[in-house]
Structure 1
Amino acid sequence: MMRCLFLRPIPPTILYETPCHHETVHQELLINGVFIGGPCDQSIGKTQHSSPYDGKLVGTAAEAGWSEFTAAIDAAETAFESWQFSTPKTRADLLNRVAFLVRERFTELAELMAEEIGKPITQSEAEVTRLAITFELAAKLALQNHTREIDVSHDSCSKNVRVTATRVPVGPILAIVPYNWPLNLAAHKIAPALAAGNTVVVKTPSMGTLCTLALGRIIHEAGCPDGVVNVLNTVPALAQKAALDPRIKMLSFTGSPQVGWMLKELLPKKRVSLELGGDATAVIAPDSDIDHAIEKLIPGAFAYAGQICISLQHILCHETRYLEFREKFTRATESVQTGNPLDRTVTCGPMISSEAADNAIALIEDAENHGAKLLTGGHRIGNIIEPAVIESPTRQMRIGIEEAFAPLVTIQSYSTDDQAINWINSSQFGIHAALFTQDQARIQTYFNNLETGGLIINNSPSLRFDAMPYGGIKNSGFGREGVANTFHEMTEDKVLVQTEN
């Protein structure tokens, strides 16, 4: 059966009687408040989206050409003329209504995500929960005062002069969303943009398309004015062309370093925010609680098959605790449940594609060929890779150089804190690192010396809260997300200087 999700508000009691994994979904483009490309519309191309777990068709989506893309940019530019002057309450009310509808459609969104991108259902549910929180955080931010007084009293010319600076929106924003968080990372671009008074053109991921288009429909049903949010499924080449369009004032990109840095080179004079790859390391200090560390690190490494940019990729354990840690962590890895992402007991579902699974196997083989030891896992069934532990990596191996984006983790011992810090800093990436210790002096040493965007203490480096600054350095990108930080990236200071008679 073919249907179009969220054509109108559906009472939850009706919605949940027929779970979405029993149906085929079709999603349309949202351009200037109009849905385009229905299942019977032969004037618009369609893309098919299948489950990475079993290959079954999940749904289809309308596909935009350049005429649709440029219409969306036109709509965003026109809508900005009025939306930039909308009241804080208008913006906050819209954002809160979106959060309400997200919670109302919790089950359907989570099941769609589990099917379309293979994210295990409990993790999909967690993302939908965070999705609502992100919009609520933005609603609160919209109501804050974003004008501040500037003290100029040090200057003798400042008598009877009052100076203020107000954060004002930059204009239409192109938001390019990744497949691994097709709802909440879309929200981390859309919600702060709306709170600031910007308009948005969203380019959905090629995998995860149905989810992001579903979010667009929810935003529309929440009463978003025409043209303020436009959501398109299209090919990367057209997104690149749109990024170059002078009507687009900022690019917010989350994805691979290769694509992100290429876009930045093309846009030397345009505001750009890049959230790219990572290879997070956790350090197990000699005073750490090994059992607690393993409890946090197992999901940090293997949730969603490691397809998260702050997934745990490397572990360094102090030599005095290494043998104990090695045995316990390997045994815990072997207990990680893999399989159907709709099974609530599953932690590690499928890789997003057969190509991604091929790459994971190639990383393991390269490590073994260069002297590393595979302690457990690494077997493949379809797109599922059994969680793998690789001992004694080096920075000359692919897994020591590249972002794995797979359920693979390396372990090795270290002797000194300097050695551990140097390992982390030798990476081309730098988003999060983790340290397990009770020693405050050691915490400060790592915090002061690590070349990363954040340090997580006694928890997985994959820990992230939607309100905190988030982002990396080096090849991991620049700029910061987190609702308030993204708001700042998407606005600029406008100064008012008033002289009183």
Structure 2
Amino acid sequence: MADVNGFLVGGRWRFSDQTAEIRNPFSAEVVSVVSLAGSEHAEEILETAARAFQVTRRVPVFRKVEIFDRILQGLSDRKEEIARTITLESGKPISASRTEVDRCLFNFSCAKDECQRIGGEVIPADLMSWGADRLALTRRFPVGPVLGISPFNFPLNLCAHKVAPAFATGNSLILKPPSACPGAALKLAEIAQAAGAPDGWLNVVPCRPEVAEIFIQDDRIKRISFTGSPGTGYRVKALSGKKPVILELGGNAAVVVHEDAPQELAAVRIVQGGFGQAGQSCISVQRVFVHDRIYDPFIARLMEETENLKVGDPLDPETFVGPMISEQEAMRVEQWVREAVAGGARILIGGTRERAVYWPTILTNVTPEMKVSCLEVFGPVITVETYRDFEDALRRVDDSRYGLQAGIFTQDVGRIFRAFSRLEVGGVLVNDVPTFRMDHLPYGGMKESGLGREGARYAIEETTELKVLILHLTAGELYG
């Protein structure tokens, strides 16, 4: 029997009678057991975060920098241990898990830098006569306890997108890590605790949805930062009351490959972007539109790249496509593909499943109403269709309820800026796939893909309040 991992509240590791077994998606073996916070713990957790905020809001910048430095050292020292935990619990290939730890390090480094730049500005107030002899100053202040909810596909780095800004701003944080793979977040909590973070600054509480809903509805929570599916995200928003909510949700990201595209680069990147992480990313390539003049040779390149992918054991450093998070999810993708084929779609490659592993699959002859096109597959499936007119391709990219990121392969500057101006997405990638992300850049979506932006600087803005101070400079002369 694996050891039971506790949850962290107010600097203390707690245990309860409720536990959850965490299974390796590839082998189905139990790799850890986690203790779950119950409804009976909710009041204590909320009050702990509220009390801690009265301390954390006053932590000076130099002290924050010291804590960040120790967290960075702890992450670096435990990189391989954390990467292995990610792989064992989520099925992510070990090479990708190591990259995720590197991204987490970068995330904390960015937040460390940004916490030293949180400031304001001096604004002249004498733009009208009644503003004469006045000066305005602005400054950002932390809002209070924040609730962070993170998904399974990046079980460390997406937690870092909640934790690092909280340490930068001085907001206390209640973090609900992914239920399927909480181990990396719990190790991050150990590292933060060892780094000297004040008790209650970070509270990591694996729990069931009904317990999370207590946190969501409580007025002591001043912001919610949620990453996950649109259905759950908008339920969070509906339950949140008046508090602002940052939502990083799903997508069915599209790529346009124009006739002047660098075809070899496009094929390589589309395969990497569509099948990496077994397609379990909200910016995985899902829909590909290829100019009809290059369709046949491009499809041949795409299939060749796909055939060369190693699929299987995520602990093998050569594996590129591991299992999905569960056999149930792989079965769902399998069913969606079957439905598409029954509706006239054609499988060019893939379409097979072995337990939780679904083989990289390319479909064509897909229609917009098919689930593999209009919904988020969140699995290793790409659809490829042709177009003739670039404007029509842009229209088809936007023919989606989602709007997270899109990729455009072309050498034409005019087309690039037309795409940038017209597409209803949060980011446009040129000669690359929408799956590319740098963690310091603004990241978020339009339409059903979310509200607000992440990236250290932007998350800090989302979780602070801007105050203005107006000075009447001659008040002493007038009324003294």
Does the 8 A contact of 1:69 with 1:232 survive in 2?
no
Do residues 177 (structure 1) and 141 (structure 2) align? no
Give the TM-score normalised by the residue count of structure 1: 0.93
Q: Name the Cα RMSD after superposition.
A: 1.1
- 1:44: how far off? 3.2
Alignment match, 1:447? 420
Q: How does 1:137-176 map to 2 (within 5 A)?
A: 137-176=110-149
Amino acid at match of 2:152: Y
The CA deviation at 1:309 is 0.4
Aligned equivalents of 1:44 and 1:238: distance in 2?
A: 15
TM-score, structure 2 normalization: 0.97
* SS of aligned partner of 1:480: coil
| Alignment correspondent of 1:314 | 287
1:206 — aligned with what? 179
Alpha-carbon offset, residue 145 of structure 1 = 4.1
Q: Which residue of 2 aligns with 1:96?
A: 69
2:458 — aligned with what? 485
2, 7, 10: which one pairs with 1:32?
10
Summarize deviations over 1:432-488 as a string: whole Å, max 9, x none. Answer: 000111111110011111010000011121000011000111111111111111110
The correspondence of residues 105-254 of structure 1 with structure 2, limited to 5 A, is 105-254=78-227
1:328 matched to which residue of 2? Answer: 301
For residue 25 of structure 1, report the CA deviation from its aligned partner: 5.3
Residue 436, structure 1, aligned to residue 414, structure 2: no
Provide the rounded CA distance (Å) in 2 between the counterparts of 1:114 and 1:188. 20
Aligned structure 1 segments of 4 or more residues deviating by more than 6 angstroms: none
Q: Which residue of 368, 375, 385 corresponds with 1:395?
A: 368
CA contact (8 A) 2:217 2:241 kept: no
Q: 1:337: Cα distance to partner?
A: 0.8
Matched, 1:53 2:26: yes
Q: Deviation of residue 323 (structure 1)?
A: 0.5
Name 1:462's counterpart in structure 2. Answer: 435
Give the counterpart letter for 2:157 in structure 1: N
Residue 230 of structure 1 and its aligned partner are, at CA, apart by 0.3
1:277 corresponds in structure 2 to 250
SS at match of 1:58: strand
1:77 alignment counterpart? 50
Counterpart selection for 1:266 from 239, 242, 249: 239
CA distance in 1, matches of 2:211, 2:132: 54
Q: Does 2:256 correspond to 1:256?
A: no
SS of structure 2 residue aligned to 1:389:
strand
Q: Which amino acid counterpart does residue 441 of structure 2 have in structure 1?
A: M
User: Is the Cα contact below 8 Å between 1:92 and 1:138 reproduced in 2?
Assistant: no
| AA at the equivalent of 2:111 | A
Aligned-residue offset at 1:80 = 0.6
Alpha-carbon distance in 2 for matches of 1:449, 1:45:
50
Q: Is the Cα–Cα contact under 8 Å of residues 327 and 357 in structure 2 kept in the other structure?
A: no
Q: Choose 63-72 or 369-378, whichever is displaced more.
A: 63-72
Q: 8 Å contact 2:255–2:408 — kept in the other structure? A: yes
Q: How many residues align?
A: 474
What SS does the aligned partner of 1:282 have?
strand
Maintained 8 Å contact 1:453/1:470: yes
Question: For 1:294, which of 267, 278, 281 is the aligned residue?
Answer: 267
Letter in 2 for 1:450: L
Whichever residue aligns with residue 35 of structure 1, its letter is: W
Q: Hey, what's the Cα distance between the residues in 2 that align with 1:124 and 1:26? A: 23
C-alpha distance in structure 2 between counterparts of 1:152 and 1:54, whole Å: 66
Contact kept, 8 Å, 2:126 with 2:133, in 1: the verdict is no
Aligned 8 A contact 1:60 1:210 in 2: no
SS of aligned partner of 1:312: coil
Alignment match, 1:366: 339
Evaluate the alpha carbon distance shift between residue 101 and residue 118 of structure 1 in structure 2; reply closer, same or farther with a 3 A threshold.
same
Question: Aligned runs of 1:401-440 on 2, under 5 Å?
Answer: 401-440=374-413
Aligned to 1:21: none
Which residue of 290, 314, 319 corresponds with 1:341? 314
The amino acid that maps onto 1:439 is D
Post-superposition CA distance 1:73-126 (Å, at most 9, x none): 111100111211211111222122111110110000001101100000010000
8 A Cα contact 2:439 2:455, kept in partner = yes
Report deviation, 1:184: 0.6
Amino acid at match of 1:277: G
- Equivalent position SS for 2:448: helix
Check whether the contact 2:118–2:140 (CA below 8 A) recurs between aligned residues. Answer: no
CA distance in 2, matches of 1:44, 1:200: 24
Asked if residue 474 in structure 1 is aligned to residue 447 in structure 2, the reply is: yes
> Secondary structure of the residue that 1:147 maps to in structure 2?
coil
SS at match of 1:119: coil
Q: Which runs of 5+ in 1 are unaligned?
A: 3-23, 38-42
Q: Distance in 1 between matches of 2:450 and 2:151?
A: 15
Unaligned runs of 5+ in 2: none
More deviation, 263-272/472-481:
263-272
Determine if contact 1:301/1:312 at 8 Å carries over to the other structure.
yes
Q: C-alpha separation between the residues in 2 aligned to 1:26 and 1:107?
A: 21
Q: Residues 390-431 of structure 1, C-alpha deviation per residue, up to 9 Å, x if partnerless?
A: 012111111111100000000011111111111111101010
Structure 2 residue matching 1:163: 3-state secondary structure: strand
Stretch deviating more after TM superposition (225-234 or 79-88): 79-88
Letter in 2 for 1:218: I
